[in-house]
Chain A
Amino acid sequence: MARSVTTQHKTIATIAAWIVALLIFFPILYTIITSFKSEQEAIQGFNLIPSGTFESYIEVQAQSGYFKFFLNSVLLSVGSTILALLVAIPAAWSMAFAPTKRTKDILMWMLSTKMMPAVAVLFPIYLIFRNLGLLDSRIGLMIMLMLINLPIVVWMLYTYFREIPGEILEAARMDGASLWNEIIYVLTPMAVPGIASTMLLNIILAWNEAFWTIRLTTTEAAPLTAFISSFSSPQGLFWAKLSAASTLAIAPILIMGWFSQKQLVRGLTFGAVK
């Protein structure tokens, strides 16, 4: 028997959704509000109405140039995403269309690397980077971010590729398409929504990555995570400035997420109800 959904149920569900959304978004909202307060106001306890001063933004910009960090964040997140896709698309293709007995195990093993605490491999990675001359280099960090996010990218692409009927690829092969042509001209266009959402998610993950981006950079390759970190102080008032730095750092990715939310949600829920 089909379940009847009453207006009352819908209203309750909508209110519940709004409450949950507000709870999740509130820390970000309060950070933005705090960024428009003076340091004195910021420490005076809970207050949702700021005086509207821009002094923290001015001080933050004067203290450390935002744009250099911003540019590094863009280069690192986009660069690592492109690298990840270049590696993950062929990997996911082989797992989806030419699986072996061990494919599932390999997928699980890849995912298990995400369960390891990053700090456990800090010294070996640092030494490798030092010996290869990759410390504080954008290319080194792109490779690192690509490796960190690769399991998720492969998993997501594998899920999307599995939705594509193998017969279509077979037909392309019958028509004489080579392996590369098959991947580039047949598989990739069909999986564009999935690849796009994977790309967006990977950019967000790379943008927010703070452990390695702070520890493997000094001045040249430091992204916005290092920019935020420089405004925390054990002695002194810094809440408003830290909030301004955080707002500046999250604003680009927040705006990007807002405009691409349809693609993101579609990509993330793709195949969920199959």
Chain B
Amino acid sequence: MKLRTLTLGLLSASALAFAAHAESITIATVNNGDMVRMQKLTEDFTKANPDIQLNWVTLEENVLRERVTTDIATKGGQYDVMTIGTYEVPIWAKQSWLLPLDKLGDDYDAKDIIPAIAGGLSVDGKLYAAPFYGESSFVMYRKDLMDKAGLKMPDAPTWDFIRQAADKMTDRANGVNGVCLRGKAGWGENMAFLTAMSNSFGARWFDENWKPQFDQPEWKKTLQFYVDLMKADGPEGASSNGFNENLALFQQGKCGMWIDATVAASFVSDPKNSTVADKVGYALAPDNGLGKRGNWLWAWSLAIPAGTQKADAAEKFVSWATSKHYAELVASKEGWANVPPGTRSSLYANAEYQKAAPFAKMTLDSINAADPTHPTVKPVPYVGVQFVAIPEFQGLGTTVGQLFSAALAGQSSVDDALKQAQDAATATMTEGGYTK
């Protein structure tokens, strides 16, 4: 009896000691398929690291952005790992809000990260966030409708070709719109698309002295082309359409072409949800022969806030979640098609992945076609392809997005929208001390 009591006591004491020793880290993340999958697979990590417990906080993208910004700016210390994008990384790293990731382990192979993505997540040559999945944008098109129109989509189309194809594919009687593009206002919604598009038209947000450029002919050409194209061949109510709305339209066979995130390829080619899964082709985002394409670059990445008390445990987790081992783990459990895309060159060299994901090559080519440090035809003082990596951009980008969305809805003219955008940008840059 005494021995039993002693054994029980010792076991309880060791359990308590273990619980006291176990360190828990809190990870803030967004709700998308890849992140949800990672949460299901964390047993692999906790088995290898029994002294680390993981707590998840999943939030809608905009709420997450606000929450982590509040926490990091006030050094709240609520999170040990944060999911942030290529927009936040350069700004936060310069504020010393993030820890550099220099202890990811000997077998991490940071050089395997796709250079364009690594460039977007580094400041002064140091990596401040590890990419979990990366994306660019490209053209998804209906091969059957393209054949019907008597056209062949080139791998690298021009905007003129897109307009010609959209005109021919539009079949209002059968509910087919030649092209579906984002129109919903927001810096990460229509302005992600339009900013990337404007790069291919030779436009830029600011000149080298931070003077807004919406009064320049390149922006007029961009916005006029977009509004005319959407009026002629876009869906009804396009000014309310974002990624999800266009995804629904494309999956229901109501779009001839859709230019949006490369991550959409896995959705539109999924026969479970898409009625056109076997009819989709992919091409690079269009250009105008000026040397820049209208595609963006984004990576949801894991970063460690400078205020964390558990940096070592956090970095261990970041290393695991963004490693080659994790890609193999996902492949073994859920197939290669479900491996988070757009982060490592080795994934695209993998024959099994290429076989499982027919859009793999075009995704990689699209990512490689984007250069966040030289995003425009003319020189600019900022970093970012579809955004300007300054704190003021979220507010300004959304204001300009609302003006351009109104122009698409026919509530204002292209000229008025551009003039108001120029005024708003000028006021913001003056207030921010960028210009006098």
Binding site for B on A (CB under 8 A): 39-40, 43-44, 63-64, 122-123, 126-127, 130, 135-136, 214-215, 218-219, 222, 226, 229-238
Contact = CB atoms under 8 A, between A and B. Distances in A.
Contact of B59 (A44, A130, A229): A229
A236 B273 CA distance: 11
B31 interface: yes
Interface in B225-279: 242-244, 247-248, 251-252, 261, 263-264, 267, 272-273
Which of B57, B188, B243, B267 has the most chain A CB atoms inside 10 A of its CB? B57
A130 B74 contact: yes
Contacts of A235: 32, 243-244, 261, 263-264
Interface of B: 26, 28, 30-33, 36, 39, 55-61, 63, 66-67, 70-71, 73-79, 188, 242-244, 247-248, 251-252, 261, 263-264, 267, 272-273
Contacts of B32: 233-236
A43 B251 contact: yes
A135 B71 CA distance: 10
8 contacts: A40-B272, A126-B76, A229-B60, A230-B31, A233-B30, A234-B188, A235-B244, A236-B267
A230 B251 contact: no
A237 B74 contact: no
Contact of A126 (B74, B244, B251): B74
A229 B58 CA distance: 8
B398 to A, nearest CB: 14
B76 A135 contact: yes
B70 A122 contact: yes
B58 A40 contact: no
Sort A-B residue pairs by CB-CB distance and give the 9 closest, nearest first: A230-B58, A232-B60, A43-B248, A219-B55, A233-B31, A234-B61, A218-B57, A130-B76, A218-B78
Contact of B273 (A64, A232, A233, A237): A237
Which of A40, A63, A218, A231 has the most chain B CB atoms inside 10 A of its CB? A218
A100 to B, nearest CB: 40
Given A229-B59, A233-B31, A233-B61, 15 more contacts: A44-B248, A123-B70, A123-B73, A123-B74, A130-B74, A218-B78, A222-B57, A226-B59, A230-B60, A231-B31, A232-B31, A233-B30, A234-B30, A236-B267, A237-B244
A230 B59 contact: yes
Nearest to A222: B57
Contacts of A238: 31, 244
Contacts of B79: 218
Contact of A127 (B74, B244, B247, B263): B74
